[in-house]
A and B are shown apart, each in its own frame.
Chain A
């Protein structure tokens, strides 16, 4: 997991179907991976609603 500019680290994995996925992490960053609580998006009106 080599460190890159900006303090980022990366871990590449293969998904079951062979596609590549990279986790980027920022160990020096105060913005740790945020917990992901249910957080419904403020959504835009749909085409019908518009």
Chain B
């Protein structure tokens, strides 16, 4: 069963997707459903002996192209709707042990082109109003398959957090004539204390208002509404900054750090979005090597995050560990014979 149920108090949709309870849960590496299908082996999701990058429709989708009608009736205050949309899985590599941190820059660039292609194709569907690219990494954030992969949800509406962000950005544009994210990024670059890594075109920083201990924003310096505007130079710099940033996160505690990575960009609702500035957000759940931040009463029920760390200190720590610069990331990639 799957449907959208309206939350009348928060004024947002909730997706019910009971079939997802049946999805594959932490299989052994020998039975990874996202690895290529090896000769004589069990058939995985990918009917090929190897692949470069693969995208497929999720076997256990929250949103479906042809969803069933809602299994329940609306209440006087809560409309229901079919859970229409598309849920895709993006396989970054055929190698089970790969990660964005360990992959060659070329593969990350290729992945960025795939993200862009999905944004353009899914966004062209009149049903789709928002293409949401994300990655959950690590069991601490609920990952059920360790193979390197991300996901794309093509929503039939603009989800509430991007919607709030866009509303704030529109208000800022109307009041000041400038982009809110451009203003925030320039303030961070001028201040410098929360910067983590700077490429020629992309910048990563811990936001002044970080809600998570090691939350990071990553955005193009040039005002870009979506991936549709990416050039080859943008993609090359993004790959290097992304890899460098994730290398820093992994270096924090000396092991692969769990994280949620999301991309906010322009809705595909047919409207112009001059207020929108594409960016990535990262939310690692760790507050120390062994302690996680949980969304407890104040966060889950009050909507107010309590950050146990100072963004200035988190950024300083991230600057100190891992690749020293984007140039170092590129040099290491070349030294590994990948350039």
Contact = CB atoms under 8 A, between A and B. Distances in A.
B97 A44 contact: no
Interface in B81-116: 93-98, 104, 106-107, 109-110, 112-114, 116
Interface string A28-50: 01111111111111111011001
B36 interface: yes
A21 B57 contact: yes
A42 B97 CA distance: 7
Interface in A1-50: 4-8, 10, 13, 15, 17, 19-26, 29-44, 46-47, 50
B293 interface: no
A41 B98 CA distance: 7
Nearest to B38: A36
Nearest to A25: B52
Interface in B251-275: 255-256, 258
Contacts of B51: 23, 33
A26 B54 CA distance: 12
Interface majority SS (helix, strand, loop, mixed), chain B? loop
Contacts of B139: 44, 46-47
Contacts of A42: 97, 255-256
Nearest to A39: B97
B338 interface: yes
The number of chain B residues touching the other chain, given as a range, is 35 or more
Interface stretch (B42-50, B68-76, B323-331): B42-50
| Best-surrounded residue of A10, A15, A29, A44 (most CB of chain B within 10 A) | A44
A11 to B, nearest CB: 10
A1 to B, nearest CB: 13
Contacts of A6: 109-110, 112-113, 116-117, 232, 235
A44 B146 CA distance: 10
Contact of A8 (B47, B49, B59, B110): B110
B96 A24 contact: no
B306 interface: no
B25 to A, nearest CB: 12
Contacts of B98: 39
Given A36-B50, A36-B94, A5 B113 contact: yes
A4 B96 contact: no
A46 B57 CA distance: 28
Contact of A24 (B57, B109, B114): B114
B290 interface: yes
Top 3 nearest A-B pairs (CB, nearest first) are: A6-B113, A21-B56, A36-B94
Given A24-B113, A29-B110, A34-B93, 13 more contacts: A8-B114, A8-B117, A10-B117, A15-B56, A21-B46, A23-B48, A39-B95, A39-B96, A41-B96, A41-B97, A44-B140, A44-B255, A50-B290
29 contacts: A5-B117, A6-B109, A10-B117, A13-B47, A15-B45, A15-B56, A19-B56, A21-B47, A21-B54, A22-B54, A22-B55, A23-B51, A30-B106, A30-B338, A33-B52, A34-B93, A35-B50, A36-B35, A38-B96, A39-B98, A40-B29, A40-B96, A40-B97, A41-B29, A41-B97, A42-B255, A43-B146, A44-B138, A44-B258
Interface of B: 29, 35-36, 38, 45-57, 59, 93-98, 104, 106-107, 109-110, 112-114, 116-117, 138-140, 146-147, 232, 235, 255-256, 258, 290, 338
